[in-house]
């Protein structure tokens, strides 16, 4: 015969099993409403292009609308903070990039604490940045840029899509290794920054390859930021050819708030991997220099943690501070 204590244990086990079964059924139905991809930049830049192209393809797999929300400002921290403090249910996802790995060492205090506030979903891809000037610029090579910077210290300006982004740190590293002074001009996205370059308001930009793809033949490409030549940008030399030791790489990944159920993360990962390898995504972005990765969540986590360590040393050694 069951004792009173035994009955309570049986009832408790049954209740837990019922709750577990209900939760698994609920997660199996994910998603049941639109998903929001938060882009911490203004519309028109490389991250925005990645998000819109990826989101459209993910929607086909998920059977739900994927809404793109642009929340620019504070070196990506406005949009990133919004996602960190959202419900951990998989319906709010940040499209992270280079700044995600830099901000912990660059910013004295992060409103969301640190990158442990996020759980990785997928590393979408990696690619070079490209040093560009407007087509009518007098500068035709990296050597021209260095000569002009040495002749007028601080006179040359370079744009970025925000403090702590790849374009910003690429310029800082260039200035340090080439031993020149150039002035950083941060914007709230790559679109506005490149528009001002075309208008002659800023001299140059170490732009992401995806952002450059939006501006066709209006820009002159002077160098890529990877150590080796890029097959996509044939004939454009690595900046490292002129500035030894120079290397910067852009990347794009998806994160959700920590605490998001593993089943939900796996569902988002599967949809993103399918989307990143879709003919439409590849057509728009692989040809612009983005190397598709699209692996498991652990791949994004390992890559970004290594980037955090590498750039923390560069930031500290060079005394790089937010503008």
| pLDDT band at residue 323 using 50, 70 and 90 as cut-offs | low
For 65, what's the count of Cα atoms within 13 Å in the CB-facing half-sphere? 5
**102: its two tokens:** 């830099």
pLDDT at 28: 56
Answer yes or no: is pLDDT of 7 > 70.
no
For 105-163, how does the pLDDT look when each residue is reduced to its tens digit (9 = 90+)? Answer: 888 788 888 889 999 999 999 988 999 999 999 999 999 999 999 999 999 999 998 88
CA distance 268 to 248: 28
- How much is the average pLDDT of 219-245? 92
The Cα–Cα gap between 148 and 55 comes to 42
More confident residue, 169 or 265: 265
Q: Say if residue 24's pLDDT is above 90.
A: no
| pLDDT tens by residue, 40-81 | 998 988 899 999 999 999 999 999 999 999 999 888 999 999
* Separation CA 275–CA 66 (nearest Å): 12
Indicate whether 169 pLDDT > 70. Answer: yes
pLDDT tens-place string over residues 272-297: 999 999 999 998 887 677 889 999 99
Instruction: Set out the domains of the chain in order of their start, with CATH numbers.
Output: 32-127+250-318 (3.40.190.150), 131-241 (3.40.190.10)
């Amino acid at each position: 015969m069951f004792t009173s204590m035994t009955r309570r244990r049986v009832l408790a086990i049954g209740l837990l099993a019922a709750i577990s079964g209900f939760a698994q059924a609920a997660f199996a139905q994910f998603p049941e409403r639109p998903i929001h991809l938060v882009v911490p930049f203004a519309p028109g830049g490389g991250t925005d292009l990645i998000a819109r192209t990826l989101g459209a393809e993910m929607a086909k797999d998920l059977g739900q609308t994927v809404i793109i929300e642009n929340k620019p400002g504070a070196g990506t921290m406005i949009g990133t903070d919004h996602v960190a403090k959202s419900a951990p249910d998989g319906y709010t996802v940040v499209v992270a990039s280079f700044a995600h790995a830099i901000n912990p060492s660059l910013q004295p205090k992060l409103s969301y604490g640190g990158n442990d506030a996020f759980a990785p979903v997928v590393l979408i891809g990696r690619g070079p940045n490209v040093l560009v000037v407007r087509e009518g610029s007098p500068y035709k090579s990296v050597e021209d840029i260095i000569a002009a910077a040495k002749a007028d210290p601080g006179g040359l300006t370079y744009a970025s899509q925000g403090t702590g982004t790849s374009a910003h740190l690429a310029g800082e590293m260039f200035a340090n290794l080439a031993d020149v002074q150039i002035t950083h001009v941060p914007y709230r996205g790559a679109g506005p920054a490149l528009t001002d370059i075309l208008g002659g308001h800023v001299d140059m930009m170490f732009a992401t390859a995806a952002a450059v793809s939006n501006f066709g033949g209006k820009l002159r490409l002077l160098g890529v930021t990877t150590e080796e030549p890029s097959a996509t940008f044939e004939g454009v030399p690595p900046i490292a050819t002129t500035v030894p030791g120079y290397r910067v790489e852009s990347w794009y990944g998806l994160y959700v708030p920590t605490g998001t159920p593993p089943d939900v993360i796996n569902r988002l990962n599967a949809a993103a991997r399918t989307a990143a390898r879709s003919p439409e995504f590849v057509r728009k972005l692989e040809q612009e220099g983005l190397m598709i990765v699209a692996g498991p969540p652990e791949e994004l986590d390992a890559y970004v943690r290594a980037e955090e360590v590498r750039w923390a040393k560069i930031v500290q050694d060079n005394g790089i501070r937010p503008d």
